[in-house]
């Protein structure tokens, strides 16, 4: 007879195996344990996670479904290895294992496999069980975007849902509610709205999030850093700049400015108040400045460590002081002032990383012009002088690809190919994009080339395998049109289609969420502006 | 026996009883072919009988003329088994009972899928009161029991082969429709007879009308008492099969469970119980039931069973199930048992070899073959060799090739050398292939031309681009021609077929598909070996070699070339059809072009189905090659600790399930 305590170990053990990435052992353990304790939701849930990691998506889905079927009431029976009934075993289960967590996992899988409507339904189901479950909100917005729903409609739908969920939880009678709304309900609505705002922002509907923040959700507190980022992403650069200034800028820091600046230089110590900005917030502030055509203010420099200050100064200067003669051409050097050389060569690893993060942030917030200029100038300075123009460009294209700008990246990569060689990463990115457009032959060639350079490039290898299978499928389909009677081909086609579906469990493609998906078709406007060589940084100030 | 237009089957039937029976009586219900004449040749008395939709009446007409002590009745599409011929006399002399049951082995489909076995009453004492009853599925037992309520029957193990339900024959004879018609009539006339409903259900099931079959079975079941009805177990089994066919799994489960309560030793039911469990995802229960079934083995003799239930069929199903559960070791064991139970089966060998190859154990295949199979004859070894080749286990095949007893003739030696060379080609080891081929070419035997052709192909593969070569081999010339439209040059003169016209295509395709499936020299008449390893198959072999040796650029080139040709053939066909459609409207030039294209660049080029098959095979192999490399273990810094991709299970699953040779072709 087992007591509830003895059920914990296998779940905990299973979890630690997962953390150690010992999936095979976890799989073996859990496949047995789930048989033994079929009503224990947590086990099914972890089992599902393991199966997902192992690429066995369909089985994972079934495991999650079994978790859902467990129900939340304590169970009376399990089955021990010897078959005796385990009496009165109460399962201490983590909240949501049999409901919202499982539904959300199922929804995620459904979304991955292209069952958009099913995903939406499951996310909503999860929220019905726990309206404040953030991952479900995030997932729902993402799934809606994937289905092509407009941002306005997404916002409407989420708002509608929030209201509906709120209604479900109305427990007090009307009379009571008239006079004073139940405090916990009010709190819950706030949380719902907050999740909604973040869900909208997370799926790239920044404008909608900001609109709501200015309207119905104005009483919700969103940290300055997040708001700033949303404005930046929505192209509301002037608003962004104003917000940054009023929150962190000179107006609030008159006294500090003079004293702290010098003290920071001499002592090198970090002053808590001045260093309260996170690196992302710093980047956003800088981008807000630059995007609205302004240089970095001194209050900005006051808030960065001496280590970084050099880099920020250089970046600021690079963006404003150069008239780049030949940005896109493969000319030898851009005119870097000699006086900076000494300073610049001392850039340490951490600083280089910040610079790279800055470029990524710029891309992520949609300011491609700035991003490209920063990349080319900063990276050129930072990296090995032997690195060619093509390599730098290739590197940048890889970043673009990562953030969903697949078409722009592809154009750049093709350009690089004509100028010189592409490295394995570049070949892969281009191959992946071509694959997604259905150009199997070219994709395959690129992927094989990538493998030649880097034989352990597992993503490229998986992609190549799948390309071959798709090509085989294509040939069969063609032949079936020619000779429609053949049963053998029909069977082969079914088998291949099935295996290709299963192969979607192999993680070789770059994972894109809603934010990045929006950029797939981002076309020529950004690259044109970049190519024209204009250092017109206010070009992205779309709305004041 | 009753016959009508059975000239094809009758000889085999009558031959099987010649010398065994003292008298043959054939009731002819209106043959317009040579049936009567054939019967007379065997010395039978022929009774003319006007058909009146009543089998019993027809048989009884024959009984009237019988002068023997015992009556054996057969149908024209049956044949008495050889051993039964010897035993009949002894049984009839010794037996004190009134009737004897024999086992009918029914061969269905294409004959590959084993047989169902039914014990039926086919031998009985002759007596004026022993007369058949029943329009269709006429019965004699009733009459015997009426005359002697204490009548006893013996169940023997004598076998009668029944070939009548093999697909082709059925289509020709339209048997099933006739049966359905008669049974529907019977049901109308006697709606309370469960046996009619049961038989009607059987006919419906035979043509796949599961819904109608189910209806009939359910009706029958409601009328019978399972404890005393001899066919109750069959009825229940068929009901389960209908529900399975209709994928109504819950009902099937309930049905089979109920049946198992009544007939716990009926192996077929256990097997089906497992199928139902698997269908609803309960793979553990499925495994348990299959193991139960093999433990039971074939059911007791009173049950009509399907051949292989509790033996090879069940083992094979277990193998597939265990594969699905990634219990590869268990699957291998199950497949070994399958072959042990029926050594003529090849599909389990295909699965076995694939499993071992995919799990990186190809090296152990020879050892497994040695320890778990008895393969003494050269024939067996050759067969296995062919299978290994089709399963892409080249190293194992080469090892086995070395174990063949030494060749009996120069010709056989050369045949083997060619086989070995082709294995090397597929391995991508072209230099070893070349060595073997050169030897054969030098011998100037009957295989020399084939060797010469392959040497040219290898030369092309390893040669530089744009090298000026004069090739004799049509296939190599086609490869050389690159993107030019196939000019349809004359194939080399040593090929018997030469360039083919559209008219001969069907015959060619028929021959070729047999050769392709053999893929080795097994069972091929020597005169045909000019077409072996040629045409699209040659392309396929080269694709495989490129894959195995990682020459992806050459691979892509070949694939492109192949696709190009498929398109060209397609276009040519279209042109020709269009020309035929619009008689005389075609421009002269177009006709000439189309006809030029009709002349194949190599033998069999216009067979787009074959071309597609070989190209598809090559592409799948390329995918498999990459998937294999993804899952190959890599040593980590600490020796003995290996790093694997977390998703290797899904890759292994895919590799096990990709379409490929599985032994079911042809």
ipTM associated with this complex: 0.82
Calpha distance A181→A175 (Å, rounded): 10
Decide if B623 and A27 are in contact by the 8 Å CB cutoff: no
Average pLDDT, chain B: 84
Q: Give residue A61's pLDDT.
A: 94
- Three-class secondary structure of residue A47 per DSSP: helix
**A26: closest chain B residue by CA:** B646
Q: Which of B280, B612, B656 to mutate to test the interface with A (most CBs of A within 10 A)?
A: B612
- Cβ atoms of residues B283 and B275 within 8 Å: no
Calpha distance B656→B666 (Å, rounded): 22
Which of A492, A503, A506 lies nearest to residue B616, judging by beta carbons? A492
A214 to chain B, closest Cα gap in Å? 46
Q: Cα-flanking dihedrals φ and ψ of residue B630, to 5°?
A: -65, -35
Calpha distance A140→A145 (Å, rounded): 9
Q: Which of A21, A26, A49, A55 to mutate to test the interface with B (most CBs of B within 10 A)?
A: A55
Tracing tokens 């730098």 back to the chain, one arrives at A392
**B283: closest chain A residue by CA:** A35
Calpha distance A229→A222 (Å, rounded): 11
Decide if A503 and B570 are in contact by the 8 Å CB cutoff: no
Measure the CA dihedral B98/B101/B102/B106, to 10°: 140
DSSP-assigned letters across all residues of A364-432: HTT-HHHHHHHIIIIIHHHS-TT--HHHHHHHHHHHHHHTT-HHHHHHHHHHHHHHS---HHHHHHHHH
B660 to chain A, closest Cα gap in Å? 9
Q: Can you list the pairs that A495-501 forms with residues at least 24 positions away whose Cβ atoms lie under 8 Å?
A: A495/B657, A495/B658, A495/B659, A496/A469, A496/A472, A496/B620, A496/B658, A496/B659, A497/A473, A498/B657, A499/A469, A499/B654, A499/B657, A499/B658, A500/A466, A500/A469, A500/A470, A500/A473, A501/A113
Is 90 exceeded by the pLDDT of residue B470?
Answer: no
* Confidence tier at B617 by pLDDT (50, 70, 90): very high
Q: Which two tokens stand for residue B467?
A: 């090298």
A240 to chain B, closest Cα gap in Å? 43
- Three-class secondary structure of residue B121 per DSSP: strand
Q: Which of B659, B665, B666 to mutate to test the interface with A (most CBs of A within 10 A)?
A: B659
**B569: closest chain A residue by CA:** A482
B357 to chain A, closest Cα gap in Å? 18
Q: Give residue A519's pLDDT.
A: 93
Calpha distance B577→B600 (Å, rounded): 17
Q: Is B118 left (phi over 0), alpha (psi -120 to 50) or beta?
A: beta
User: What are the residue ranges of helices labelled H in B374-429?
Assistant: 378-390, 394-403, 410-427
Tracing tokens 């499951």 back to the chain, one arrives at A122
Which of A27, A448, A506 lies nearest to residue B651, judging by beta carbons? A506
- CA nearest B393: which of B355, B347, B439, B340? B355
- Residues from chain A contacting residue B657 (CB–CB below 8 Å): 495, 498-499, 502
Q: Cα-flanking dihedrals φ and ψ of residue A85, to 5°?
A: -70, 135
- Residues from chain A contacting residue B633 (CB–CB below 8 Å): none
Is 50 exceeded by the pLDDT of residue B93?
Answer: yes
Q: Give residue A120's pLDDT.
A: 96
Is 80 exceeded by the pLDDT of residue B467?
Answer: no
Calpha distance A70→A67 (Å, rounded): 5
* Termini Cα distance of chain B: 34
- CA nearest B208: which of B173, B249, B180? B180
Calpha distance B29→A236 (Å, rounded): 96
Decide if B650 and A458 are in contact by the 8 Å CB cutoff: no
- Cβ atoms of residues A330 and A387 within 8 Å: no
**Which residues, numbered 278 to 337 in chain B, qualify as contacts with chain A under a Cβ-Cβ cut-off of 8 Å?**
281, 284
Q: Which two tokens stand for residue A129?
A: 């069980």
Which of B612, B613, B646 lies nearest to residue A54, judging by beta carbons? B646
How many other C-beta atoms can be found within 10 angstroms of the C-beta atom of residue B78? 23
Q: Give residue B170's pLDDT.
A: 60
* pLDDT tens, residue order, chain A (544 aa): 433 433 457 777 778 888 777 888 888 888 888 878 888 888 999 999 999 999 999 999 999 999 998 875 444 344 444 443 443 345 667 788 788 999 999 999 999 999 999 999 999 999 999 989 999 999 999 999 999 999 999 999 999 998 888 887 664 334 444 555 555 667 778 888 999 999 999 999 999 999 999 988 888 899 999 999 999 999 999 999 999 999 888 644 444 444 444 333 333 344 434 457 888 999 999 999 999 999 999 889 888 888 788 888 888 888 887 654 444 444 444 444 444 544 555 667 788 888 889 999 999 999 999 999 888 888 777 766 667 788 888 889 999 999 999 999 999 999 999 988 899 999 999 999 999 999 999 999 999 999 999 999 999 999 999 999 999 999 999 999 888 777 888 999 999 999 999 999 999 999 999 999 999 988 654 444 444 333 333 333 333 3
- CA nearest B369: which of B335, B416, B408? B335
**B552: closest chain A residue by CA:** A448
- Cβ atoms of residues A462 and B630 within 8 Å: yes
Tracing tokens 């673009």 back to the chain, one arrives at A400
Side-chain-side CA neighbours of B75 within 13 Å: the count stands at: 16
- CA nearest A106: which of A148, A68, A69? A68
Q: Can you list the pairs that B205-211 forms with residues at least 24 positions away whose Cβ atoms lie under 8 Å?
A: B205/B238, B205/B241, B205/B242, B205/B245, B206/B165, B206/B176, B207/B176, B208/B245, B210/B242, B210/B245, B210/B246, B211/B242, B211/B246
Per-residue pLDDT tens over the stretch B132-145? 988 777 888 888 88
* Confidence tier at B168 by pLDDT (50, 70, 90): low
Calpha distance B195→B183 (Å, rounded): 10
Calpha distance A102→B104 (Å, rounded): 55
Side-chain-side CA neighbours of A249 within 13 Å: the count stands at: 14
Q: Can you list the pairs that B220-223 forms with residues at least 24 positions away whose Cβ atoms lie under 8 Å?
A: B220/B194, B220/B195, B221/B194, B223/B192, B223/B194, B223/B197
- Residues from chain A contacting residue B609 (CB–CB below 8 Å): 479, 483, 486, 489
A113 to chain B, closest Cα gap in Å? 15
Calpha distance B141→B178 (Å, rounded): 24
User: Which residues contact residue A139 at a Cβ distance below 8 angstroms, ignoring those fewer than 6 apart?
Assistant: A104, A107, A108, A111, A119, A123
Decide if B624 and A465 are in contact by the 8 Å CB cutoff: yes
Decide if B658 and A499 are in contact by the 8 Å CB cutoff: yes
B570 to chain A, closest Cα gap in Å? 8
Q: Cα-flanking dihedrals φ and ψ of residue A254, to 5°?
A: -55, -50
Decide if B615 and A475 are in contact by the 8 Å CB cutoff: yes
Report how far Cα B634 is from the mean position of its chain's Cα atoms.
Answer: 41
Measure the CA dihedral B373/B375/B376/B381, to 10°: -160
Decide if A502 and B626 are in contact by the 8 Å CB cutoff: no
- Residues from chain B contacting residue A30 (CB–CB below 8 Å): none
Calpha distance B211→A400 (Å, rounded): 58
Q: Which of B633, B650, B658 to mutate to test the interface with A (most CBs of A within 10 A)?
A: B650
Tracing tokens 């729903």 back to the chain, one arrives at A149
Could you tell me what percentage of chain A is helix, strand and coil, using 3-state DSSP and rounding each to the nearest 5? 70, 0, 30
User: What are the residue ranges of helices labelled H in B66-119?
Assistant: 82-94
- Residues from chain B contacting residue A503 (CB–CB below 8 Å): 650, 654
Q: Give residue B522's pLDDT.
A: 41
Calpha distance B72→B79 (Å, rounded): 12
Is 80 exceeded by the pLDDT of residue B360?
Answer: yes
Q: Cα-flanking dihedrals φ and ψ of residue B62, to 5°?
A: -70, -40
Which of A23, A482, A488 lies nearest to residue B646, judging by beta carbons? A23
**A18: closest chain B residue by CA:** B646
- Residues from chain A contacting residue B652 (CB–CB below 8 Å): none
**Which residues, numbered 623 to 662 in chain B, qualify as contacts with chain A under a Cβ-Cβ cut-off of 8 Å?**
623-624, 626-627, 629-630, 634, 644-651, 653-654, 657-659
- Residues from chain B contacting residue A24 (CB–CB below 8 Å): 644, 649
- CA nearest B546: which of B531, B567, B561? B561
Q: How many residues does chain B have?
A: 666
Q: Give residue B597's pLDDT.
A: 52
**A485: closest chain B residue by CA:** B609
Q: Which of A455, A471, A478, A486 to mutate to test the interface with B (most CBs of B within 10 A)?
A: A471
Q: What is the CA radius of gyration of chain B?
A: 30
Q: Give residue B113's pLDDT.
A: 59
Is 80 exceeded by the pLDDT of residue B464?
Answer: no
Calpha distance A470→A500 (Å, rounded): 8
Decide if B646 and A21 are in contact by the 8 Å CB cutoff: yes
Which of A21, A56, A456 lies nearest to residue B650, judging by beta carbons? A56
B615 to chain A, closest Cα gap in Å? 8
Residues forming a β-bridge with B634: B643
- Three-class secondary structure of residue B116 per DSSP: strand
- Residues from chain B contacting residue A498 (CB–CB below 8 Å): 657
- Cβ atoms of residues B270 and B261 within 8 Å: no
Q: Which of B324, B543, B630, B655 to mutate to test the interface with A (most CBs of A within 10 A)?
A: B630
User: What are the residue ranges of helices labelled H in B280-429?
Assistant: 283-296, 312-324, 328-341, 347-358, 365-372, 378-390, 394-403, 410-427
Calpha distance A461→A444 (Å, rounded): 10
B209 to chain A, closest Cα gap in Å? 20
């Amino acid at each position: 007879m087992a007591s509830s305590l003895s059920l914990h170990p296998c779940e905990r053990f299973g979890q630690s195996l997962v953390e150690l990435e010992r999936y095979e052992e976890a799989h073996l353990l859990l496949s047995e344990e789930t048989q033994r304790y079929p009503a224990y939701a947590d086990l099914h849930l972890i089992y599902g996670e393991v199966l997902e990691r192992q690429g066995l998506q369909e089985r994972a889905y079934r495991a999650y479904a079994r978790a859902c079927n467990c129900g939340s009431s304590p169970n009376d029976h399990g089955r021990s290895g010897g078959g005796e009934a385990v009496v009165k075993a109460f399962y201490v289960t983590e909240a949501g294992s049999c409901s919202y967590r499982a539904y959300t996992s199922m929804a995620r899988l459904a979304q991955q496999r292209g069952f958009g409507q099913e995903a939406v339904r499951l996310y909503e189901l999860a929220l019905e069980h726990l309206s404040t479950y953030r991952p479900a909100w995030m997932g729902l917005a993402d799934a809606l975007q994937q289905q092509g729903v407009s941002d306005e409609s997404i916002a409407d739908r989420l708002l509608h849902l929030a209201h509906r969920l709120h209604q479900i939880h109305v427990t007090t009678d009307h009379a009571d509610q008239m006079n004073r709304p139940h405090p916990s309900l009010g709190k819950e609505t706030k949380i719902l709205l907050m999740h909604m705002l973040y869900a909208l922002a997370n799926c790239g509907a920044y404008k909608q999030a900001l609109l709501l923040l200015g309207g119905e959700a104005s009483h919700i507190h969103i940290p300055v850093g997040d708001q700033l980022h949303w404005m930046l992403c929505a192209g509301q650069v002037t608003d962004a700049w104003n917000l940054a200034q009023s929150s962190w800028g000179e107006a609030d820091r008159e006294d500090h400015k003079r004293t702290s600046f010098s003290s920071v230089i001499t002592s090198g110590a970090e002053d808590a108040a001045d260093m309260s900005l996170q690196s992302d917030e710093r980047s956003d502030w800088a981008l807000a400045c630059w995007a609205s055509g302004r240089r970095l203010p001194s209050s900005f420099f006051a808030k960065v460590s001496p280590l970084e200050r050099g880099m920020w100064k250089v970046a600021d200067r690079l963006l404003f002081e150069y008239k780049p003669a030949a940005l896109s051409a493969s000319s030898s050097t851009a005119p870097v002032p000699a006086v900076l050389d000494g300073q610049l060569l001392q850039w340490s690893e951490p600083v280089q990383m910040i610079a790279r993060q800055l470029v990524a942030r710029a891309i992520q917030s949609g300011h491609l012009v700035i991003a490209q200029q920063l990349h080319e100038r900063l990276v050129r300075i930072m990296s090995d002088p032997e690195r060619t123009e093509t390599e730098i460009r290739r590197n940048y294209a890889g970043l673009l690809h990562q953030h969903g700008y697949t078409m722009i990246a592809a154009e750049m990569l093709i350009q690089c190919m004509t100028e010189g060689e592409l490295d394995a990463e570049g070949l892969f990115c281009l191959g992946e994009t071509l694959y997604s457009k259905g150009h199997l032959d070219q994709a395959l060639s690129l992927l094989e080339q990538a493998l030649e350079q880097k034989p352990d490039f597992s993503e490229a290898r998986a992609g190549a395998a799948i390309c071959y299978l798709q090509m085989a499928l294509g040939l069969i389909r063609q032949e079936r049109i020619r000779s429609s009677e053949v049963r053998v081909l029909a069977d082969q086609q079914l088998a291949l289609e099935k295996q290709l579906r299963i192969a979607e469990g192999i993680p070789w493609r770059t994972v894109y969420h809603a934010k990045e998906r929006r950029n797939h078709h981002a076309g020529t406007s950004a690259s044109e502006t970049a190519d024209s060589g204009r250092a017109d940084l206010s070009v992205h100030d779309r709305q004041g | 026996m009753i016959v009508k237009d059975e000239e094809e089957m009758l000889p085999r039937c009558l031959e099987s009883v010649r010398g065994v029976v003292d008298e043959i009586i054939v009731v002819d219900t209106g043959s317009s072919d040579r049936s009567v004449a054939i019967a007379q040749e065997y010395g039978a008395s022929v009774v003319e009988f006007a058909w009146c939709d009543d089998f019993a009446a027809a048989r009884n007409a024959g009984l009237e003329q019988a002068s023997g002590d015992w009556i054996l009745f057969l149908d024209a599409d049956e044949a008495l088994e050889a051993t039964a011929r010897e035993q009949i006399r002894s049984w009839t002399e010794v037996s004190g009972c009134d009737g004897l049951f024999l086992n009918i082995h029914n061969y269905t489909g294409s004959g590959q899928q084993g047989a169902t076995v039914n014990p039926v009453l086919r031998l009985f004492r002759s007596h004026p009161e022993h007369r058949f009853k029943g329009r269709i599925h006429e019965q004699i037992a009733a009459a015997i029991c009426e005359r002697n309520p204490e009548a006893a029957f013996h169940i023997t193990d004598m076998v009668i082969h029944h070939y009548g339900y093999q697909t082709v024959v059925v289509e020709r004879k339209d048997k099933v429709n006739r049966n359905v018609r008669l049974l529907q009539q019977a049901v109308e006339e006697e709606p309370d007879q469960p046996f009619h409903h049961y038989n009607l259900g059987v006919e419906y099931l035979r043509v796949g009308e599961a819904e109608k079959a189910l209806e009939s079975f359910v009706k029958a079941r409601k009328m019978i008492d399972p404890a005393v009805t001899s066919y109750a177990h069959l009825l229940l089994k068929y009901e389960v099969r209908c529900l399975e066919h209709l994928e109504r799994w819950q009902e099937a489960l309930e049905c089979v469970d109920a049946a198992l309560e009544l007939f716990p030793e009926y192996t077929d039911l256990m097997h089906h119980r497992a199928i139902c469990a698997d269908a609803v995802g309960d793979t553990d229960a499925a495994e348990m039931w299959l193991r139960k079934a093999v433990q039971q083995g074939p059911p007791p003799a009173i049950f009509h069973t399907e051949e292989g239930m509790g033996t090879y069929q069940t083992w094979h199903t277990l193998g597939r199930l265990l594969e699905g559960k990634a219990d590869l070791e268990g699957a291998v064991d199950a497949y070994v048992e399958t072959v042990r139970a029926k050594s003529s089966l090849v599909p389990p060998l295909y699965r076995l070899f694939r499993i071992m190859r995919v799990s990186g154990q190809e090296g152990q295949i020879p050892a497994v073959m040695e320890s778990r199979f008895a393969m003494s004859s050269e024939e067996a070894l050759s067969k296995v060799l062919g299978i290994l080749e089709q399963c892409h286990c080249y190293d194992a095949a080469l090892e086995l090739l070395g174990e063949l007893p030494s060749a009996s003739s120069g010709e056989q030696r050369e045949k083997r050398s060619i086989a070995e060379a082709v294995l090397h080609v597929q391995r991508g080891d072209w230099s070893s292939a070349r060595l073997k081929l050169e030897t054969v070419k030098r011998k100037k035997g009957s295989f020399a031309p084939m060797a010469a052709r392959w040497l040219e192909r290898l030369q092309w593969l390893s040669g530089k681009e744009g090298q000026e070569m004069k090739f004799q081999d049509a296939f190599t010339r086609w490869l050389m021609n690159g993107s030019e439209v196939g000019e349809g040059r004359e194939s080399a003169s040593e090929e018997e077929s030469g360039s083919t016209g559209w008219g001969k295509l069907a015959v060619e395709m028929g021959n070729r598909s047999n050769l392709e499936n053999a893929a080795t020299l097994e069972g091929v008449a020597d005169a045909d070996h000019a077409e072996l390893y040629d045409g699209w198959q040659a392309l396929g072999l080269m694709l495989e070699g490129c894959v195995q040796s990682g020459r992806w650029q050459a691979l892509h080139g070949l694939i492109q070339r192949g696709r190009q040709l498929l398109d060209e053939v397609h276009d040519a066909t279209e042109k020709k059809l269009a020309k035929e459609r619009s008689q005389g409207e075609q421009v002269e030039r177009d006709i000439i072009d189309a006809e030029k294209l009709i002349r194949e660049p190599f033998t069999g080029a216009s067979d787009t189905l074959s071309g597609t098959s070989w190209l598809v095979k090559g592409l799948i192999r390329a995918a498999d090659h990459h998937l294999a490399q993804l899952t190959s273990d890599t040593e980590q810094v600490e020796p003995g600790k290996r790093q694997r991709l977390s998703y290797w299970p899904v890759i292994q699953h895919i590799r096990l399930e990709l379409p490929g040779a599985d032994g079911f072709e042809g």
